[in-house]
Structure 1
Amino acid sequence: MNTRSSAWPLALLFAGMVVYASLYPFTGWRVQGVSPLAFLQAPLPQYWTGFDVASNLLGYAPLGFLLSLAMLRSGAGRWSWWLAIALPILLSLTVETLQNYLPMRVPSNVDFALNSAGAAAGAGCAWAMERLGVLRRWTQFRADWFEPTAHGSLVLLALWPFALLYPLSVPFGLGQVWDRLESGLVSLLEDTPFLTWVPLRLETPDPLSPLAEAFCVALCLVSPLLMGYAEMRSLVRRVVFMLTLFVFAFVAAGLSAALTYGPSHAWAWVTPQAALGVGFAALLGMCLLALPRRLCTVLMLLALAVSLTLLNQASDSPYFVQSLEMWEQGRFIRFHGLSQWLGWLWPFAALIFGLRAVARAPIATTRIPP
């Protein structure tokens, strides 16, 4: 089997996430005068929790799984299983060594052992699935449902629900970055002549009106929907994909609200304007089922551009800013803002993907089969 796999970019992204979470906040580097590998021979730590064990054990399992899966689908030889274990172990050894130089981090031989065990378990799971024929059935399923060129889109669609976990001022409204980008540029360029180059807003913009918010919600749901439509082979599959995407959207938004405000407020985001936007998105999704692939990508780009414009020209409500401060001080701090970066960057990555897809795709006028 020699198939291009979405597991490669997913493994690379997950490795980056591991490095980010292990070395955050990347400040205060110093030399302690001890051997970088001294932690390997240190006594076992006296204090540890079940969360520490689970996070270190399970944190590297997806990386081992994805690397092993990518190598299996790429037709790698018998050494691929060992390589899928060795690379995460080397990564864990590297980040644990670098933690010697960070004041807020403590390298641990137990963490290193658990990371290695997790990577081995993930790689072993991938090989077991290969032996049982699960990967072969997934390959057949992917060939039946998606176009052969569906790689980047599958990665983006897999990341989309995780991007929704960060609290959003508008439900599903990813990419609202201008407020923080503006304040960051002002802080960086303060007392320099370049500050005049920043297009500062002289007046605080108003929040979106209820109708504009509903329209924005609809566009933010239609964008990933059209991305999936562009890779689907039939109308029936597009309908199933639409239902699946809406389920994941509701689960991710509900989980974000539950972790931010408490389980009893899981559906607090379902306001009248949000419900109107979801209904409009469902109606659009049904109307666009028979759209040609290339046109789906073009309309996805248009929906992304309009939604980003609306979101970044509006301000956050004071209530949302207050809830965001609660979120950043709460349990999500363990993610060190990873879902925040996903929420900021996902639409722009989708724009780049869509532009490349339109540039290289032939004009298709064929009708989508049922």
Structure 2
Amino acid sequence: MSRTRRSSAKAPPDAAPGSVTGAEGQPPRGHRSSALPLAWALAALVAYASLYPFVGWRWPAGLSPEALLVLPLPPWRVPFDMVANGLGYVPLGLLVCLAGLRQGLSWPLAWGLAILAPGAWSYLMECLQHLLPGRFPSRLDWLLNLGGAAVGGMLGCLLRGSRWLARWQRWRQAWLVERSAGALVLLALWPLALLFPTALPFGLGVEGVRLQDALVDLLLDVPWAQSGLEWVLAWSLGEAPLGAGSELSAAVLGLLAPCCIAHAVLRGPGHRAVAVPVVMGVGGLAATASAGLNFGAVHALAWVTPLLLAAGGLAALAGLACALAPQRLNAALGMVGVALLLQLVLQAPADPYLAASLQGWEMSRWARFHGLAQWLGWGWPLAALCWLGWRVALPQQAVDGASAGTVPAGRRARG
């Protein structure tokens, strides 16, 4: 038997054409996986929720360096906090386990990594809470975090045993180009970023008035920055309400941005056309969840207005048109769209009614989640611009190679 035929025979019978997979349909060692960047992103979100509001850092009186590493048992038990601490680490354990499996680890090692890595991160967060007023380090919280991570890791192992990982890998090879992990992370975080209500519909980014106030507070007591302070005070942002045309444009651009990100990594026009209604549906669900969380379940569909329905139709038509464009052009169009959206958001005036409606949420048990969604809404467009810019700057050879897929096993054996 020839060398080529021996190589081809080793590939699993249900592998995607033109792909190279490992044992049991798993990707080869070192394969780029979206699980690892998603795990890092989730770890950052956990850190935010654990250390919010990041003010008042101090070394408690009488606390020795050794005592900093000791986690006491709290005398109280809050059912909501216990459930949140247990469930909050399940996705992190799942992602760490999947990342380990995708790197070729056996399931016991991947499960152990899914417990140890989130457990160490949780222990660090609890120790740092010694230094924050109003936060209380808790051994019970740490143990609940460990339990949640262990459950998530076991779910990852079960997914591997049921061959869901192999099915996901085959789907990803058939639909997505290589180096698509960043796009998957952005698309996964987009609906979470939409949970924080904005001045413009689907208008993620920092409002100009809020940015101006933050810069004034930052520069006010800095003697050598007074010229910069005068320049910031001269900004005329959010002074006049935006018209219906600006709101329509913001909604269209806000829905079109994730479509362009998806189009930049999907292989063919047919795949991209399927992504358009998925993005529209996810955006609608996120807007419904945001309205329900902020204004009550009876107002969950209050965002459905004729203007936004028109914006959804225009965004869908534009997304279907962009599905016919090459991947690099979609990345460039996405950059332009996100930049225009940020410009509109900067010009949006502050909404006092919206600010008043959020006060109850900010003072409730959802305060950390509220702040987390807010930072996601501010940072998502900037992260999208960075990724789209990187995608546009990729050498054409790399883009062509990613679009063509991996080298077939037989051809690689001949090489």
* Cα distance, 1:193 vs structure 2: 4.2
For the pair 1:149 / 2:179, whether they are aligned, the reply is: yes
Is the 2:126–2:137 contact (alpha carbons within 8 Å) kept by the matching residues of 1? yes
Structure 2 matches for 1:18-33, cutoff 5 A? 18-28=46-56, 29-33=58-62
Is the 2:252–2:315 contact (alpha carbons within 8 Å) kept by the matching residues of 1? yes
Is the 2:93–2:115 contact (alpha carbons within 8 Å) kept by the matching residues of 1? yes
Equivalent position amino acid for 1:81 in 2:
W
Distance 1:204 1:356 in 2: 31
Q: 1:68 aligns with which of 94, 97, 113?
A: 97
Distance 2:236 2:182 in 1: 39
Distance 1:48 1:228 in 2: 44
Distance 1:17 1:162 in 2: 11
For the pair 1:313 / 2:341, whether they are aligned, the reply is: no
The RMSD of aligned alpha carbons is 2.3
TM-score, with length taken from structure 1: 0.92
SS in 2 for 1:39: coil
Gaps of at least 5 residues in structure 1 are: none
For the pair 1:138 / 2:168, whether they are aligned, the reply is: yes
Q: 2:225 aligns with which of 188, 191, 194?
A: 194
Q: 1:280 aligns with which of 300, 314, 325?
A: 314
Q: CA distance change for structure 1 residues 302 and 332 in 2, over 3 Å: closer, same or farther?
A: same
Moved beyond 4 Å, runs of 4+: none
Match of 2:68 in 1: 36
Stretch moving more, 169-178 or 75-84: 75-84
Q: CA distance change for structure 1 residues 214 and 330 in 2, over 3 Å: closer, same or farther?
A: farther
Q: 1:113 aligns with which of 123, 136, 143?
A: 143
Equivalent position amino acid for 2:330 in 1:
C
Q: CA distance change for structure 1 residues 50 and 63 in 2, over 3 Å: closer, same or farther?
A: same
Distance 2:316 2:144 in 1: 45
CA distances 1:151-208 after superposition (whole Å, capped 9, x unpaired): 1111101100000000111111001343222111111211434233243325752121
Distance 2:282 2:244 in 1: 24
CA distances 1:183-240 after superposition (whole Å, capped 9, x unpaired): 1111121143423324332575212101121011101111110110111122332222
Is the 2:100–2:113 contact (alpha carbons within 8 Å) kept by the matching residues of 1? no
* Cα distance, 1:145 vs structure 2: 1.1
Distance 1:317 1:346 in 2: 21
Equivalent position amino acid for 1:9 in 2:
P
TM-score, with length taken from structure 2: 0.82
Match of 2:116 in 1: 86
Q: 2:244 aligns with which of 206, 210, 230?
A: 210
Match of 2:86 in 1: 57
Match of 2:329 in 1: 295
Report the count of equivalent residues: 365
SS in 1 for 2:374: helix
* Cα distance, 1:337 vs structure 2: 0.4
Distance 1:259 1:152 in 2: 28
Distance 2:162 2:137 in 1: 38
SS in 2 for 1:106: coil
Equivalent position amino acid for 1:131 in 2:
G
Stretch moving more, 208-217 or 309-318: 309-318
Stretch moving more, 116-125 or 281-290: 281-290
Distance 1:159 1:232 in 2: 18
Is the 2:208–2:348 contact (alpha carbons within 8 Å) kept by the matching residues of 1? no
* Cα distance, 1:71 vs structure 2: 1.0
Structure with higher Rg: it is 2
Gaps of at least 5 residues in structure 2 are: 1-27, 405-415
Equivalent position amino acid for 1:317 in 2:
D
Match of 1:172 in 2: 202
SS in 2 for 1:107: coil
Is the 1:207–1:316 contact (alpha carbons within 8 Å) kept by the matching residues of 2? no
CA distances 1:248-307 after superposition (whole Å, capped 9, x unpaired): 101110110011111111111222322221121112122222111111111111111111
Equivalent position amino acid for 1:244 in 2:
V
Q: CA distance change for structure 1 residues 204 and 119 in 2, over 3 Å: closer, same or farther?
A: closer
| Identical counterparts, % of pairs | 40
Distance 1:8 1:203 in 2: 39
Q: 1:122 aligns with which of 145, 149, 152?
A: 152
Equivalent position amino acid for 2:40 in 1:
L
Is the 1:32–1:100 contact (alpha carbons within 8 Å) kept by the matching residues of 2? no
